[in-house]
A = this chain, B = another copy of it.
Amino acid sequence: MKESACSLMISRSLRKFTDETKNSYKMNETILPHTDLQNIDETMLSSLEAFSQYRNVSAEKKAEFLEAIAIEIESLGDEVINIASRETNLPEGRLTGERGRTCMQLRLFADMVKEGSWVEASVDTADAGRKPLPKADIRKMLIPLGPVVVFGSSNFPFAFSTAGGDTASALATGCSVVVKAHPGHSETSKLVAGAIRKAIEKCNMPTGVFQHIDASGFGAESFEIGKQLVQHPATAAVAFTGSLSGGKALYGYAHERQVPIPVFAEMGSINPVVFLPETLKKNPDSLAKMYAGSITLGMGQFCTNPGLMIAIESESLTAFQQKLVTEISAFQSAKMLHDGIQQNYTEKLRKALEQKGVDLITAAKEQSNGPDSDASIASVNADTFLKNPLLREEIFGPFSLIVKCQNEEELKQVWLSLPGQLTTCVMGTDEDFLQHKELINSAFQLAGRIIFNQAPTGVEVCASMIHGGPYPATTDSRFTSVGTTAAKRWVRPLCFQNCPEFLLPAELKNANPKKIWRIVNEKMYNGDVA
C-alpha cells in the first residue's frame, strides 16, 4: 500500500476497509500466519477502524477493560507459566512474579484512567473585555495518537511483551494496539493474546482494538515484518524493547515513511556504577555481595544489568574485587533465554576478552552449564578503556567490566565519556557524596535514572520511575517505558478554542465532577470552572 498524507490515508483506508475487507477478514482470528505479509495491511486497517471507535470509549469503560485483561491473564493459571518457562528457560518463580507485575501494571493504568488527571487538561477562560483584543476561551487535553505497534521483548515474556507496559499504556490512552510477538516465546504470547481477546468480548470492546501477530521466525523474516508494520500508513507510533541493532532498524524504517511517527525504542545500556573511595574502603564485602547478585540476577538478562564498574585503584578495590570473584564463582549459571542470546553472549564476551589490556578475573566452573554461560568479571585500566570504544558496548548477560582508574580525574573521564544510559549508580558514603557533588551533578546528563547506594536491577512501577535515557539507551530521552508516565508516548495535545460546552470532552467541561487536576487560568485546580 502506497503511503500518502496521514489523514487522507485514514479516510481512504477506512473506505477500503469498509468496502472490501470487512467481510472477508475474520476479525476474531487475529493470529496471522507469520509469513503472510499481506495480512499486515488488513491487521493495521482493522486496528485503525477499531481505534476510531475505541478512542471514544469512556474512561470508566477503558479502565474496566484493562482490569478484565488482568483477570483473564490470571485465569491462565499455571499453564502459561509452565509454557513460558519452557520457552524462555526462566524459572517459574520469576515468571509468576513477572505475571503479577504485568497484572499490577494493567491495574495501575486502569486507576490512572479512572482518576483522569493524566490528560493534562487545562482551561483558559475567555475575557471579552481584554484590550487591545478580546481573549477567546481556550482549553486543551491529551488525545490518543492512533494504532500503536508493540514489539514484544525477549527478556520479559509478560511484563514487556503481549500485555506488558507498552500495550497497557497504549490501551489506557485510547490507542489500539498491534503486538508482534517475540519469536522466543510465541506460545506464551498466544495464550496472553487469547486472554486479551476474552476481555475484549466480555467488555464489548471493538474487536480490532488488540491484535496479535505471531511471527515465530527470527532474522530476516522478522525484520521484514517489522518494516511492514512500522511503515504501514495506519501505524501512529511504535514501542520496542530489545537490542541496539533492532531498535535502530525500526527507527530507520520509521524515518523512511512519508509521514514520520514517534518510535520509542528502549535499547539497553551498560549501566555504569561508580564506587567512590570511602565506601569502597568501609564496605568492600557488602558492595561485592550486592553487585554479584545484581550482575547475575536472571542470568544478567536485564536492560539495567550493571555492565561497567568504575573505581580508583586501591587496596579496597582489590578487596572488593576478590570478594566479588568469590561471590560470582558460587553462582550457579543457567540456560539463557534462547540460543541466539546465548551465542551472542559468548561471542561478545570472547571479543571483549580478546581486547588488549582486558583481563578475565573469573574462570569457567566445572559444575556450570558449560563455560559459555558462566558469569564473568574482567578488568581493564582506564587509559585502555578510554581508547577502545568496543568496551563501551553492552554484553547482554552476566558480565561486568571493572575499570581501574589512577585518580579522580580519570574516573571522571571514564564516567562522562560514556554514551547515554538507562541508569547510572553512585556508591558512596555521605562524605564521598559531599566531596564529589560536582562530579555527580555532571553525571545527571548521562542517564535517565541515577541511583544512590543501590544496584540498578529492579525497576519500580510508579509515577516517578523513568526507564529511559539519552541515546543510545533509547531513541527519545523525553519519555519512559516503565511507570504511569509511559502513557505520554502515545498522546498529543488537542486545543479547543471557543468550543460550545456541550461539544467539549468531559475533561474540559466547566463542571468537574471527577475532580481531576487541571490548570485553570494558569493555576493548578481541581474544582469546577466558574
Where the two chains meet, the residues of A that have a C-beta atom closer than 8 Å to any C-beta of B are: 4-8, 10-12, 52, 56, 97, 117, 122-124, 132-133, 135-136, 138-140, 143, 145-146, 251, 255, 259-260, 262, 389, 392, 413, 416-420, 430, 433-434, 437, 440-442, 444-454, 458, 460, 462-466, 468, 470-472, 475-478, 480, 484-485, 488, 491-500, 502-503, 517, 519, 522, 524, 526
Cβ-defined partner of A117 (8 Å) among B441, B485, B524: B524
Min CB–CB distance A51 → chain B (angstroms): 9
The verdict on A452 contacting B503 (CB below 8 Å), with A446-B7, A463-B522, A471-B260 known, is yes
Residues of B contacting A135 with CB < 8 Å?
460
CB atoms of A464 and B495 under 8 A apart: yes
Q: Whole-angstrom distance between the alpha carbons of A454 and B497 in the complex?
A: 8
Q: A471-B259, A493-B466, A495-B464 are in contact. Are A503 and B433 (CB under 8 A)?
A: yes
Whole-angstrom distance between the Cβ of A275 and the nearest chain B Cβ? 16
A447 contacts across to B, CB distance below 8 A: 494
With A and B bound together, what is the CA distance between A417 and B503 in angstroms? 23
Write the chain B residue with the least CB distance to A428.
B500
Given contacts A519-B463, A522-B463, A524-B524, is CB(A419)–CB(B7) below 8 Å? yes
CB neighbours (8 Å) of A485 from chain B are: 140, 493
Nearest residue (CB) in B for A458 is B133
* Residue numbers in B under 8 Å from A251 (CB-CB): 260
Q: Considering the chains assembled together, what is the distance between the CA atoms of A260 and B251 in angstroms?
A: 10
A515 to chain B, nearest CB (A): 10
Closest-CB distance, A324 to chain B (whole angstroms): 21
In the complex, what residues of B have CB within 8 A of residue A465's CB? 124, 138, 140, 495
Q: A146-B445, A468-B492, A524-B526 are in contact. List 20 more A-B contacts (CB 8 A).
A: A4-B389, A7-B470, A10-B416, A117-B524, A122-B463, A140-B464, A140-B485, A255-B255, A260-B475, A430-B500, A448-B492, A448-B495, A449-B495, A451-B497, A451-B498, A452-B496, A463-B522, A464-B495, A478-B488, A478-B493
With most chain B CB atoms within 10 A of its CB, the pick from A4, A97, A460, A480 is A460
User: How far apart sit A181 and B288, CA to CA, in the bound complex (Å)?
Assistant: 55
Contact between A413 and B11, CB atoms less than 8 A apart: yes
Query: Would you mind naming 7 contact pairs between A and B with Cβ atoms under 8 Å apart?
Result: A123-B464, A138-B464, A140-B485, A143-B444, A251-B260, A440-B503, A470-B492
Nearest CB of chain B from residue A170's CB, rounded to whole Å: 14
Contact B494 A478 (CB under 8 A): no
Bound: A450/B495 CA distance, A: 6
Q: Once the chains are docked, how many angstroms separate the CA of A460 from the CA of B52? A: 30
CB distance from A394 to the nearest CB of B (A): 13
**Minimum Cβ distance to chain B for residue A246 (Å):** 16
If A124-B460, A262-B476 touch, whether A466 touches B450 (CB-CB below 8 Å) is no
Taking a contact as CB atoms under 8 Å apart, the answer to whether A494 and B444 are in contact is yes
* A418–B452 CB distance below 8 A: no
Shortest Cβ-Cβ A-B pairs, 4 listed: A5-B419, A466-B495, A449-B495, A451-B497
Q: Are B500 and A433 in contact (CB under 8 A)?
A: yes
Residue A5 contacts which of B420, B437, B445, B452 (CB distance < 8 angstroms)? B420
Bound form: Cα–Cα A440–B502 in Å: 12
In the complex, chain B residues whose CB is within 8 Å of the CB of A452: 496-500, 503
Indicate whether A6 sits within 8 Å of B451 (C-beta atoms), given known contacts A465-B140, A503-B437: no
Query: How far is the CB of A240 from the nearest CB of chain B, in Å?
Result: 14
A140: chain B residues at CB < 8 Å are 463-466, 485
Point out the residues of chain B lying under 8 angstroms from A123, CB to CB.
Answer: 464
Contact B5 A418 (CB under 8 A): yes
Chain B residues, Cβ within 8 Å of A450? 494-497, 499
Contact between chains at A124 and B462 (CB < 8 Å): yes
The smallest C-beta distance from A407 to any residue of chain B, in angstroms, reads 16
Query: Which single residue of chain B is at the shortest CB-CB distance from A470?
Result: B6
